[in-house]
Structure 1
Amino acid sequence: MLLTLAGGALFFPGLFALCTWALRRSRPAWTDSDCLMISTRLVSSVQAVLATGSGIVVVLSSCSDVVNGRGSGETLGTSLSAASSQQK
């Protein structure tokens, strides 16, 4: 989990810097604020697509019945502890 966090902490700022640099080089007539705005929107779009894709993968691979997926008598506390123990 920590490795994923570190990867995201490097990937998204790196993508932003790369987009900003590429836009400044390819469109010299644009102002800095134009380049920053477009870079921000591009990075946000990439993040949204990746989040949607990961959500679809999780739902399709681990949820056979989304509505009734929790066992009978299971509370939020037991569900969280079960999920925590599965990750370890």
Structure 2
Amino acid sequence: MLLTLAWGSLFFPGLFVLSTRWLRRARPEWTDHDCVMISTRVVSSAQAILATGSGIVVICSCGNVITDRGLGETWGTSLLAASSWQN
């Protein structure tokens, strides 16, 4: 999990910087605000595509997304865990 966080912490800011620099070179007539705005949208689009992909993987790997649980977890154990987290 921490490795995924580390890669995400490098990938998304890196994508932003690269797209901003590329836009400044490709479109010198655009203002910095325009380049930053487009770069922000590029990063948001990448995040949306990856989130959609992970959702599709979850849906395809579960028979019933609501009731399928991993590691033998049941409603009773998940409710018990949820109530212990609140205390």
**Which TM-score tier does this pair reach, normalised by the shorter chain?**
0.7 to 0.9
- For residues 1-60 of structure 1, give each alpha carbon's deviation from its aligned partner in whole angstroms, at most 9, with x where no partner exists: 000000000000000000000000000000000000000001000100000101110121
User: Which residue does the alignment assign to 2:54?
Assistant: 54
For structure 1, list consecutive stretches of 5 or more residues without a partner in the other structure.
81-88
User: Which residue does the alignment assign to 2:5?
Assistant: 5
TM-score with structure 2 length normalisation?
0.78
Structure 1 ranges of 4+ moved more than 4 A? none
CA RMSD of aligned residues (A): 2.1
For structure 2, list consecutive stretches of 5 or more residues without a partner in the other structure.
83-87
User: Which residue does the alignment assign to 1:69?
Assistant: 68
Q: What's the CA shift for 1:68?
A: 3.9
The answer to whether structure 1 residue 28 and structure 2 residue 28 are counterparts is yes
TM-score with structure 1 length normalisation?
0.78
Q: Distance in 1 between matches of 2:21 and 2:12?
A: 14
Match of 2:4, SS?
Answer: helix
| Residue identity (%) | 64
User: Which residue does the alignment assign to 1:86?
Assistant: none
